Structure 1
């Protein structure tokens, strides 16, 4: 935890164990370096993960290293009278001819055609891109007769019928563009549905071995463009557009911002020769964007433009205690967390301005990256990485790498494993921030009802927004009570309610209305108890059955001259006894109805609009309720009957 240690040993098993132990340390711990003594007595790294034989490279395959760009003018064009197209014959530099078939692609420089030989395709340059420098460069590339499965070098120069240079033949490639498959998550999953982390690590090893072949022969790719790398499987890939590679004094004339080293940003690529240090930056970027699919290393929250971020080497991903706190949102933090310590250290020191591998002449070589990725592959294949955290084997982990000192729980919504302290009521922060959007009943403004509101605050889902709620509580007007003379307030909610119902605004204050209601009720009970008149059924008789639920209907049936055992009353009583009373809220509804109905009936009998109300109640409410019961729409009947009571209460009190 305090010191940086180096173990020198010849014991392969011990070395493997110590290197594996590095992966078990917390991020605050120093890793232990392990080296062996080679046959010259020098310290060297262990490399048992993949046995690569260091074959001697024939001198006729190695290009010279030049420091000055070719004197051939960059834009000097070759004379081309006609360009061949589909079904044209083209002539090969070594003799013979071959027929072009259908065009399969067109780019900025030219077009690609199938040929009669399925093993080869032809690239035909546009006239504006057919330069003398390009011709000489292709001649030089072909002179070495390079052979590497998956690297589509020019094999033969082709000429038109007038023996004018028009392009070259190269091996046929296949697969999906790296840019349009692995670098875009939905397409990644669609094209390679069974891939896991091991496959992307092995893909990096395959790509690195191809680049090593080039570097060993002094070839610099220059434009490491993911659109020019085709993927079939983790072990089968193809490099295309190889004519742009830097060969001797012929520079790579193109470049892509993300893969261009800070020191050569904003330069014209055709005017200088790239160094191996420039190339190593591009290699590191390609590896980063494969491991964090499609995400450039300098993407960040609130950063500058991509070129400025690269020039400033403002790398956002955390290493140990170092971070600029601008790591992009999304899954990238999780993916970074699950990478091996060695790989995170290598990326950080390459891309961070003060990193010990960030300078042009200190960047990691292809061989050094191969060692890191082969060791990564060994950890995956041995199960050591999975034993620490199974999610480290996944392409897109959904949380940070597990810390052995943290208790994890499964989120009840997304089911992902989350630090228990990062959850509330069993739900992770990400899920709590989600929810549903609906519209305010009044103004149609959007209202967001989050999972935090639902599951943690347990607040109800309001029908109106905060603004409408506040507006409704505001005072619309002050009214002078006609009985006591006091002023009372009418809110906007109350005013809107009365307006929508077509009712007059109350003329009495709430206290006077309550007093009037109580006095009327007592008067009605007393007068009906002592009265000997038989013109209307006494309220006392209506109260004999406390759960009647039929006070109002009885009064209306009396108006129509119907007996107490008429069909309508019989159906409603049966509905009350056999269904409503059995509902969760049934007894409460009946009790509340019993409290208010006698007063309403008394007021109905004494109303000057008695006949009008009886006929309205019969046609609008009672008969429809009977029909709903007959059609077994019992819940709708309950709601309609409650509406009737409320209507009568609004009209008479």
Structure 2
């Protein structure tokens, strides 16, 4: 067959190859008249028999309606610290000490096997909980740092009371990231890159759980612990929705508006519900702790959650009662495409795919690595763009507000404009300029506004009465004047302003008289030879 390559009838054919098949694979025969070139495929094999023995990815079912009525199991004994529990392999575990306070569902204990044991309250030990945990354990789902149940926990009477899981460490995102002063205190050297990495790690864990058709349901900052941007744990995983066992808990800000007013155990959530919740969480990571629908003059979290209430700029209409302070600056400095995702979710009430949000966070990390975006967690100005459309970083002047003592910034372009116009730079930040201070009042003396909780007179109308030692009238030496004299190191005046003015006038008059008499004397001397 290979000889056909030398036939004139096959001159227009580029090549002819011959292969041999056996149980080890497919091999190519070589032409003895040409150099023996190795096949392009590894080990000279065109195809290789697959030796992949890995199991296919397990996926739970996704039913549309939840199971019927749950029923309590009423165990006789609820174990406490110092007692023992038994797992589904009959191994004994001692509960050494309780970790944290008792929650709504039960208590968590450290065991002598270095696992964590969650023991439910008696009224929370139900048939659904036991069946759900058995379902999770049976299919041995493993996602790094997602503390899924590994063993069922039974009491001495072999009654279900809880489960055992891997140990998690770290601080709750809510108390370490979402409170700005604590964020600065706990992670003083962090910048926006760290926050974006946390967001990416959370998104990737949720993506892996979704591959198994696990719906998290109760995504919130209390259920996520972190040690650093790469060491993140998901806890309270027994609340995850598995098949038709619903997630019976949740929090309003992370629940789509369409489900408000429903009981969580009465419906099954979807992956779209999870995506909405994690979009809210990522928004709070980008604007540390700030909820999407938080705005100036707003009401409760539930009342605020309307698309028209999203306060940040999504189009030419600008901001809509955006919260005061740094939040507008943070929003301005976010990448455009990430802001588009947030606007689609919170302003337009659209569904987005998890991979879309993940892609924009990855792009943000890339831009931060390359220096295309500011890394400041709390930037001091709006995003500054040069004439070529490039982001200008750190091109501003810092000023300390004389009211709140917080730093604010003015872009250098604006500073130049101020100088050209002969204006002085502002001394108050925008928040302090805009604020209507309830302590401001009208001075009953001069009518000017001033700030003082305890006096009705301003510092110019308030002071010490002094008797003039020249005209013996009483005059007011105001507190503002006293402050001026103290700063200059001057002695307090003993005469009123009129007498002080008369003294200077008299000095001027005496000086003038002396000059006049000197002039007259000079004239007479020249005339009469005096």
Show the 5 A alignment for 1:29-178: 58-59=55-56, 61-71=58-68, 73-74=69-70, 76-105=71-100, 106-118=102-114, 120-178=115-173
Are positions 1:222 and 2:212 aligned together?
no
| Alpha-carbon separation, structure 2, partners of 1:336 and 1:136 | 45
Secondary structure, in 3 states, of the residue corresponding to 1:416?
strand
Show the 5 A alignment for 1:240-251: 240-251=235-246
- The C-alpha deviation readout for 1:143-173, integer Å capped at 9, x for no partner, is 1111111100000001110111110001100
Indicate the residue corresponding to 1:574 in structure 2: none
Indicate the residue corresponding to 2:255 in structure 1: 260
Choose the corresponding residue for 1:297, options 292, 301, 308. Answer: 292
Show the 5 A alignment for 1:156-555: 156-312=151-307, 314-323=309-318, 325-352=320-347, 355=348, 358-359=349-350, 363-383=351-371, 385-386=372-373, 392-404=374-386, 410-413=397-400, 414=407, 416-418=409-411, 420=414, 424-427=423-426, 429-430=428-429, 433=432, 448=450, 465=457
TM-score by length of 2: 0.69
| Alpha-carbon separation, structure 2, partners of 1:313 and 1:101 | 52
Secondary structure, in 3 states, of the residue corresponding to 2:175?
coil
Gaps of 5+ in 1: 1-54, 387-391, 451-462, 473-492, 506-578, 581-587, 597-653
| Alpha-carbon separation, structure 1, partners of 2:78 and 2:211 | 36
Are positions 1:592 and 2:519 aligned together?
no
Offset at residue 280 of structure 1 (A): 1.4
Offset at residue 134 of structure 1 (A): 1.0
Count of aligned positions: 410
Instruction: Say if 1:265 and 1:311, in contact at 8 Å, map to a contact too.
Output: no
Mark the CA change 1:164 to 1:367 in structure 2 (over 3 Å): closer, same or farther.
same
| Alpha-carbon separation, structure 2, partners of 1:301 and 1:275 | 32
Offset at residue 326 of structure 1 (A): 1.2
Offset at residue 225 of structure 1 (A): 1.4
- The C-alpha deviation readout for 1:94-126, integer Å capped at 9, x for no partner, is 1221111010122110000000022x1000000
Mark the CA change 1:251 to 1:204 in structure 2 (over 3 Å): closer, same or farther.
same
Offset at residue 325 of structure 1 (A): 2.1
Mark the CA change 1:322 to 1:88 in structure 2 (over 3 Å): closer, same or farther.
same
Mark the CA change 1:593 to 1:345 in structure 2 (over 3 Å): closer, same or farther.
closer
| Alpha-carbon separation, structure 2, partners of 1:432 and 1:410 | 18
| Alpha-carbon separation, structure 2, partners of 1:346 and 1:163 | 50
As a proportion of its length, which structure holds more helix? Answer: 1
Instruction: Say if 1:411 and 1:428, in contact at 8 Å, map to a contact too.
Output: no
Q: For the pair shown, which has the larger CA radius of gyration, 1 or 2?
A: 1
| Alpha-carbon separation, structure 1, partners of 2:450 and 2:53 | 68
- The C-alpha deviation readout for 1:53-79, integer Å capped at 9, x for no partner, is xx99944631111112112x23x2112
Instruction: Say if 2:312 and 2:328, in contact at 8 Å, map to a contact too.
Output: yes
Offset at residue 137 of structure 1 (A): 1.0
Gaps of 5+ in 2: 1-51, 401-406, 475-489, 492-498, 508-530
TM-score by length of 1: 0.57
Mark the CA change 1:432 to 1:108 in structure 2 (over 3 Å): closer, same or farther.
closer
